Amino acid sequence: MLEGFVTHSVVRGALPELRIPDSIQPSDACNTGFRMFDQFLLDGTLAHVLYQGGAYHKPQGDGRAEKTFALEVCDAMFGLRYGEILCNPNYDAWTPWFRGIAWDLTIVVFDCRTRRIWLLAITDTD
């Protein structure tokens, strides 16, 4: 389970600004935690988040710049080898760092070839 990974002392120590708790307990039946995700949609998800821009941003343009940047991020992380990664998002406020709003997003990406893991955490103020 990814909950065990993200609450591991090494991860908590490496990311103190996230204020990761020792364990994650579901607060209610709606809390779904980390889930499987189609890794081929990762760049589109990142582009969408960038294009939307948060609570008080009005999207502008056609989204090409956001899509290009999202592809560049994916290329830097795993060389666009989508078939060799696992991708697990979580839309819950699983640490106090998150605001508990619609813009909370964590994505854990695991590169099966290089055995590298990325944790992307996104939120906004409301």
Write out the H or E segment, with its range, that includes residue 76: helix 64-78
pLDDT in tens, the chain (126 residues): 788 899 999 999 999 999 999 988 765 545 568 999 999 999 999 999 999 987 788 889 999 999 999 999 999 999 999 999 999 999 999 999 998 888 899 999 999 999 999 999 999 876
Are 66 and 51 contacting, i.e. CB atoms less than 8 angstroms apart?
yes
For the chain, give every domain's residue range: 2-19+31-53+62-122
Sheet with strand 105-111: strands edge to edge: 85-90, 105-111, 116-122
Output the pTM of the full model. Answer: 0.87
- Count Cα atoms within 13 angstroms, Cβ side, for 82: 10
Q: How far apart are CA 126 and CA 121, in angstroms?
A: 17
